[in-house]
A = this chain, B = another copy of it.
């Protein structure tokens, strides 16, 4: 908490210190208010650590409500832990704010703590400072020895699985920015799109399945095409994706839904690979999940193709979200 002086210190006390009524967890030896936090490492676990910064105007539009910024800042980090098959545990927050704004802070911290409760995370420390609005969250989880899942392990023949639906968050952003006519999208799809954009749900339910079955995993933050390529590059492999199996936003033209999925990003769904021997176990487990789990393709030796009705599209032509076109 270096650099937290005067009124900024009070801000933390007011908005981020845990209410006295809530017992701090027993593993938290020292929380907010000192030079650092102290955490008892659980026996027989490896530490999984990630750090992501969200900058206003870059990772969220300026109009975004404070509660959503609080929720999303933590959710995107938890999604990284899920992609590693780690159990979410604790996090640190560094908040850079242009000025004190009690209302904004109350709403931001409300969104943040709702996410923390939803994902089983405890805020243990951090920092506030003055400057252009940005939020850095450093999230930590624990995993049994060497049961973490990387981007490296996909092998030719592995099935490619995808949670949820891709493109919804990009649809939300396109609607917000007026790039897609809201009258052309039904109310239920619009609601799901804004929820995906502002309150993404990291797929914590997948953690156990990933440990048991996955050979590689990644979360979809830069768009399905870009993140699939990241995984393939690290694994030294290729892929064929089946267009008809892709879980797309369905209230749009097929072309538009596909574009949003491939290039949109910001989905925080999990793409993972598993050998075909795990098919039955995964299909059975999928019945219990609160979201879809789709087998969308398979790992090959090289290339990155989307196949549909005898046609094939080179996914290497799809870049990240800034190449979005509708």
Contacts and interface: CB of A to CB of B under 8 A. Distances in A.
A240 to B, nearest CB: 23
Contacts of A148: 29-30, 38
A132 B134 CA distance: 9
A319 B1 CA distance: 17
Interface in A29-64: 29-30, 33-41, 45-53, 55, 57-59
B35 A83 contact: yes
Nearest to A76: B2
Contacts of A115: none
B234 A94 contact: no
Given A37-B48, A47-B38, A55 B130 contact: yes
Nearest to A217: B35
Contacts of A33: 151, 234
Interface in A59-106: 59, 76-77, 79-81, 83-84, 86, 92-94, 96
Contacts of A3: 52, 59, 76, 221-222
A173 to B, nearest CB: 15
A175 interface: no
B132 A131 contact: yes
B136 A94 contact: yes
A138 interface: yes
Nearest to A47: B39
A140 B36 CA distance: 9
Interface stretch (A121-129, A154-162, A188-196, A249-257): A121-129
Contact of A46 (B40, B50, B59, B94): B40
Contact of A41 (B47, B94, B129): B47
Contacts of A126: 51
Interface in A234-263: 234
Contacts of A294: none
A197 to B, nearest CB: 15
Nearest to A128: B53
A51 B5 contact: no
A320 B6 contact: yes
A80 B47 contact: no
A140 B41 CA distance: 13
B34 A81 contact: no
